[in-house]
Amino acid sequence: MGSVLEKIVEQKHYSFIDGEGVTWQEAVRLSALPLVADGTVSEEYYKQIVACIEKYGPYVVFDHNVAMPHTTENAEGAFRTGVGLMICDKMIDFGEDEDGEKKEANLFFTLSAANADEHMDNIAQLSNIFMNDDLLDALAAARTPEEILKAAADFPCDEE
């Protein structure tokens, strides 16, 4: 099994947008489109993600402007396990968290979980990616799938 970034490129689960004036709700919808395109998730799947963020706040936005929109395992409309990556030129505004800290993201790793083991493997790899600031900077600057792969090769994550 290839790394999660290789799979994203192989399966064409990536997208690049400008992001100017895009709301976070719209950004979540856009980030799921590559997963919709090959039937990994339904067109309506993103609505559950939006509802969850509306309920609990922007807890899916982590340090370093990384968002991980997701729902539950075996959510309705999650047909296969997969990760979409959307890279934005501009930051998408998620409002403020419970401490009044501004939350914004330009990297969206959007998850669909249908198979527990595969999903766990994706999450473990994403944890390492999210702690790898050099890789995140390189991904935020990537504008082609080749540049995503180059970022992954240039800044490998520690295997643990």
Q: Which residues here bind other proteins, judged by CB under 8 A? A: 52, 55-57, 59-60, 62-63, 68, 70-73, 75, 97-99, 111, 113, 119-120, 123-124, 126-127, 130-131, 160
The Cα 148–Cα 125 span in angstroms is 15
Nearer to other proteins, 20 or 99 (CB): 99
The Cα 29–Cα 13 span in angstroms is 14
- C-alpha distance across the termini of the chain, in Å: 16
Nearer to other proteins, 75 or 152 (CB): 75
Shortest Å, Cβ 143 to other proteins: 26
Shortest Å, Cβ 99 to other proteins: 8
Shortest Å, Cβ 82 to other proteins: 14
The Cα 22–Cα 102 span in angstroms is 16
Nearer to other proteins, 89 or 97 (CB): 97
Nearer to other proteins, 7 or 16 (CB): 7
The Cα 103–Cα 16 span in angstroms is 20
The Cα 110–Cα 152 span in angstroms is 18
Nearer to other proteins, 21 or 100 (CB): 100
Shortest Å, Cβ 46 to other proteins: 14
Shortest Å, Cβ 55 to other proteins: 7
Q: What is the full DSSP assignment across 125-157?
A: HHHHHHT-HHHHHHHHH--SHHHHHHHHHHSPP
